[in-house]
Amino acid sequence: MTQQAPPAAPASRAAHPVLKVGVLGSGTVGTQVVRLLGEQAEEFAARSGARLEVTGIAVRDLDALRDPAVPRELLTDDATAVATGNDLVVELIGGIEPARTLILAAFRAGASVVTGNKALIAAHGPELYAAAAAAGTDFYYEAAVAGAIPVVYALRESMAGDRVTSVLGIVNGTTNYILDEMSTKGLGFEEALAAAQALGYAEADPTADVDGLDAAAKCAIIASLAFHTRVGIDDVDVTGIRSITADDIREARASGCVLKLLAVAQRREDDHANGVSVRVHPALVPADHPLAGVHGAFNAVLVEAESAGRLMFYGQGAGGAPTASAVLSDVVAAAFHRIGGGQAPRELAYADLPILGPESALTRYQVQLRAVDAPGALAAIMRAMADHGISINSVRQASYVSDGVDPLVTIVTHPAAVLHLDRAVEALRGMEQVREVVSVLRVEGE
C-alpha cells in the first residue's frame, strides 16, 4: 500500500514575495481599497501570489479627517513619489490632471496601473494603453465602468469569441438613484441628488453625473471594447437628466414605462448606416423590459452578441466598497502577472469602424402635447407628422379630458431619425391646433 503525502501546509507569510502598492487618492474609493488591502492581506497574498504592501497613500490634505482604516503614517502629499516608487499604482484621484501625468510617470517607472478613472480613459485611453505597452506592464480599469459589475472583463475577455452588436446600459448610479427616488417616493430633484451625494455615489462634481458626462465616458469605453474601435467621450451624443420633470415621470408611468438614463452603443450595419452609434440620453423603457427593474444606484448592462444572444449584467455601479471590489480584482490580476508572468489585454482597435453622427440614430419617440379641443385637431396633428415622414405607432388622449381643458395627447412614433423628428416637432409648435409641446422623449428597449 502506498502512503499518500500529507497535504502541503498553507503557504506562510514569508513564502510570498512582496509587491509594493502605491495608492493615489484616499476619498470614497481609495479609503475602501486601503481598508480591504489591510483587513484581507492574507487572502490577497494567497490569491495573487504576492504580499501586497501599501507603502504610500497620496492625499491632497494631510490633516483632513480620515477613516481609521487608513494608516496615518502612510499618508503623503508627494503623489509623484507614490506614482514612481511602487510595483503597483492604484489611481483613485479622478479627473484628467494630475491623474494622467501621474499614471504616465508610473508606467515610465515600470509600474502596473489600476484606475477607476473613466473620464481619463475616455479622453486619453490610447495614450495610456501605449504607455503600458512601452513599459511592458498592465493597465487595468474594471472600476471605470459600472463599478463592481465585471463588465470591462466581460467585454474585453469573455466576449472575445463573439461579435457584439449592441450594448444598452444604466451605467450611472447617481442619476438612476435620482430618477428612481423621484419616481417611487415623489422626491424633488435636488433632494434626491443630495441623498445620492451623501451615499458616496456622485462624482466630486455631480454635474458630471447629472449632465450625462460620467455615463458618456463609460459609454465610450464600452463601445471601444465592444467594437474594437477607438471611441472617445467627444464621439458620444449626450443629454443628461436636468430637464426631466415630475410630470415626465408621472406620464412615463401612464404610458406603461419608466424613465431611465441610458447609454447606448450600437454596431449599425444596415441600409442607412455602417459604423458605431454611441449616445447617452433619458429614455422611456417599457415596464416589462429588464432595465426597467433596475432601482436605486444599481447599474445594469445588456449586451447583445451574434452567437451568445442577450446577456445581462447587474449589480452595484457606485459606492466605496463595491467599487473597491472591482479595483482590487484588477490589483490581484496585475500582481499575479508580476509574480507569475502574463499580461493584461492590450488595446484592440483593429476594426477601426466609423463613428456615426447623432443624425443617423433611429429611435422611437414619445411626443406629448396639449392639443386644442376642437374637431379635426388630432387629424391635423397626425397629418403634420406624416408630412415630415414620421410614422405613428400609437396615439393616446388622456382620459381626464373635460370641457374647457386642452387634452394631453401622447404620440409614440415608429423608429425615426432625429432630424425628421425635430422638424415635425417644430411644425407642431407652429400649428394653431397645438397649444404646447410638453415633452419629447426617446423610447428604447423592445
Ligand X SMILES: NC(=O)c1ccc[n+]([C@@H]2O[C@H](COP(=O)([O-])OP(=O)(O)OC[C@H]3O[C@@H](n4cnc5c(N)ncnc54)[C@H](O)[C@@H]3O)[C@@H](O)[C@H]2O)c1
Of 60-68, 167-175, 346-354, 368-376, the segment contacting ligand HSE by CB under 6 A is 167-175
Nearest to 89 by CA among 57, 125, 45, 66: 57
**Cβ closer to ligand X: 143 or 221?**
143
Nearest approach in angstroms of CB 146 to Na ion is 5
**Cβ closer to ligand X: 299 or 410?**
299
Q: Are 311 and 303 in contact (CB under 8 A)?
A: yes
**Cβ closer to ligand X: 145 or 168?**
145
Task: Return the residue of 214, 235, 251, 444 that touches ligand HSE, per CB under 6 A.
Answer: 214
Grid cell digits, residue 55? 507603502
Contact between 202 and ligand HSE (CB under 6 A)? yes
Contact between 174 and ligand HSE (CB under 6 A)? yes
User: Binds 87, which of ligand HSE, ligand X, Na ion, none (CB < 5 to 8 A, cut-off by type)?
Assistant: none
The span from the CA of 114 to the CA of 334, in Å, is 8
SS3 134: helix
Q: Which amino acid is at 338?
A: R
Contact between 142 and ligand HSE (CB under 6 A)? no
Provide the binding-site residues for ligand X, judged by CB under 6 A: 24-30, 58-60, 79, 92-94, 98, 116-118, 143, 147, 200-201, 203-204, 318-319, 323
Q: Which amino acid is at 189?
A: F
| Size of the residue set binding Na ion (CB under 5 A) | 5
**In 215-343, where do the E strands start and end?**
237-238, 257-269, 274-286, 298-305, 309-316
Nearest to 169 by CA among 150, 203, 146: 146
Task: Return the residue of 92, 283, 303, 318 that touches ligand HSE, per CB under 6 A.
Answer: 318
Render 211-246 in DSSP notation, one character per residue.
Answer: TTHHHHHHHHHHHHHHHTS---GGGSEE--STT--H
Of 152-160, 169-177, 187-195, 339-347, the segment contacting ligand HSE by CB under 6 A is 169-177
Helix or strand run (H / E) with residue 119: helix 118-135
Give the active site residues.
218
Task: Return the residue of 326, 344, 371, 416 that touches Na ion, per CB under 5 A.
Answer: 326
Nearest approach in angstroms of CB 380 to ligand X is 49
Grid cell digits, residue 382? 397626425
Nearest to 38 by CA among 26, 52, 50: 52
**Cβ closer to Na ion: 146 or 434?**
146
Instruction: State the residue for C-alpha cell 489611481.
Output: 91
Contact between 237 and Na ion (CB under 5 A)? no
User: Binds 174, which of Na ion, ligand HSE, ligand X, none (CB < 5 to 8 A, cut-off by type)?
Assistant: ligand HSE
**Cβ closer to ligand X: 49 or 56?**
56
